[in-house]
Structure 1
Amino acid sequence: MESIFSHIEAPPGTRLSDVIAEQIERRIVEGELRPGDALPAERELARQLSVSRPSLREALLKLEARDLLELRRNSGYTVAEVTAPSLTDPLLHLMEGHAKALGDVLELRQGLETMAAGLAAMRAEPADIERMREAAEATERAHEAGDAITAANWDARFHLAVAEATHNVALAHVMRGMFSVMRENVRRAREALFTREDAEHTLREQHRALADAIAAHDPEAAVRAAEAHLGFIREGIEWLQR
């Protein structure tokens, strides 16, 4: 696999560790490194960057202090998950007992995800499209196996993959930060929708239509596909609110 890192030469008067940290941070911002991704082992990463291990270690510690990296026992440094528990935890609690909160979250999703669909259609790369299709297929497999929780998780990951395909770091981070809320929103909607015989087939076709429109780099078709999909989900949410 080709390295995403490039050799570093620090300009005079610049700390080498700062330049190293800047390159790693840039890879995170540009989406080349995603939450949960593991960095190469320290020795290998120092080789790829052509830097000393003490300078690299200093850079990694700086990024860890800024909550961009986390050190996991026996697995080295990984890109930190961007979450917002102070926002998501109360929403999760509200959705447990109030159907209106489900609808409110869906309204937020409609704004974010229709925008994401259009941007993804303009900017998605082959790897982005592959992640979408893999998530859609995993959703289908989990549903066929009767595992509703795993199906909802992969369904939410499909929508996160669309957001990441925008290569808009702000939008992707917002969607990652509300992932637990989105996953619960998806689970509850799927639970309601599957009282209909055609629901699974419809959801499957809608995911495929959205991925196909993004792969075709057709923003208008992608937005239409996202709107149709979220409109169908709204039917499930409204059924719960009755």
Structure 2
Amino acid sequence: LAIELGVSRPSLREAIKKLVSRDLLISRHGGGTYVTDRLAASFSDPWQQLIEQHPRLQEDVLEFRHLIEGSAAELAAQRATESDLERLEQAYVKLDAAYAEDDRSAQVAADVAFHLTIAESAHNVLFGHLLGSVLRLLHEHVRRSLRDIAVSPETGRQLMAQHLAIHNAIRAREPATARLAAQTHIDFVRQRLDEAADSEQRQQRSLRHFS
């Protein structure tokens, strides 16, 4: 797995230890590491329940996406079949249409579908299993990210430019470029979320000051 992700074994072990400590993964002696039932459990707001129990969850999800999606894009550029590329094109077209119509619900669904199509195109069963196991969490993370970022027309254009860069690199069979494009996208989302959080904290301080 460390080779597939392009990271060192100590880094991978540390990431797995973090997720185990947060009850998101379970490590069985001699039996491997598995996603816990916590993510598969049915409750009304999985993100809210998890974030209350794990304040660093959003950071962990972004860290996970940075590692997994960068590697998935790299492998997709190497392994995608013509059928995969057709599905990727269709996913991108739907995402572009959702942003053009400024339909937030459609944006979320299309965004998740686009990234999962890339993971499936990597033809690594573990990527599909991991992302499939956290599908509900990923969907909720994207929804809340788009809400918290308060997507402006300019931010929307930037996001679509990033998705296009990932799409083009995979179609051009440029693995390193695809990895960088995917990770740049996640870093952009992280930056915007940090800015949104800082803005909210400033507003809360102002309200307390005048109350």
Please give the TM-score of this superposition, normalised by the length of structure 2.
0.67
Query: What is aligned with 2:154?
Result: 198
Q: How does 1:137-216 map to 2 (within 5 A)?
A: 137-216=93-172
For residues 57 and 196 of structure 2, what CA distance do their matches in structure 1 show? 11
Q: Is the 8 A contact 2:39 2:137 kept in 1?
A: no
Query: What is aligned with 2:194?
Result: 238
- How far did 1:177 drift? 1.6
Distance 1:97 1:153, change over 3 A: farther
Distance 1:86 1:97, change over 3 A: closer
- How far did 1:116 drift? 0.6
The one-character-per-residue Cα deviations of 1:170-220 (angstroms, maximum 9, x if unpaired) are 111211121111111111122233444411111111111101111111111
Aligned-partner residue type, residue 201 of structure 1: R
Q: Any unmatched runs of 5+ in structure 1?
A: 1-82
Question: Could you say which structure has the greater relative contact order, defined with CA pairs below 8 angstroms and 6 or more residues apart?
Answer: 2
Q: Is the 8 A contact 1:142 1:151 kept in 2?
A: yes
Query: What is aligned with 2:38?
Result: 86
Query: What is aligned with 1:229?
Result: 185
Identity across aligned pairs (percent)? Answer: 32
Task: Please say which structure displays the higher CA radius of gyration.
Answer: 1
Q: How does 1:4-83 map to 2 (within 5 A)?
A: none
Aligned-partner residue type, residue 177 of structure 2: A
- How far did 1:94 drift? 2.4
For residues 68 and 114 of structure 2, what CA distance do their matches in structure 1 show? 14
- Say which of 57, 72, 78 aligns to 1:122: 78
Secondary structure, aligned partner of 2:122:
coil
Aligned-partner residue type, residue 178 of structure 2: A
Aligned residues: 160
Query: What is aligned with 2:63?
Result: 107
Of 228-237 and 98-107, more deviation after overlay is shown by 98-107
Aligned-partner residue type, residue 217 of structure 1: R
Q: Give the alignment's Cα RMSD to 1 decimal.
A: 2.4
The one-character-per-residue Cα deviations of 1:36-69 (angstroms, maximum 9, x if unpaired) are xxxxxxxxxxxxxxxxxxxxxxxxxxxxxxxxxx
Distance 1:180 1:159, change over 3 A: same
Aligned-partner residue type, residue 136 of structure 1: Y
Secondary structure, aligned partner of 1:198:
helix
Q: Any unmatched runs of 5+ in structure 2?
A: 1-34, 199-211
Distance 1:96 1:133, change over 3 A: farther
Aligned-partner residue type, residue 39 of structure 2: L
Distance 1:138 1:195, change over 3 A: closer
Please give the TM-score of this superposition, normalised by the length of structure 1.
0.59
The one-character-per-residue Cα deviations of 1:62-83 (angstroms, maximum 9, x if unpaired) are xxxxxxxxxxxxxxxxxxxxx9
Q: Is the 8 A contact 2:77 2:171 kept in 1?
A: yes
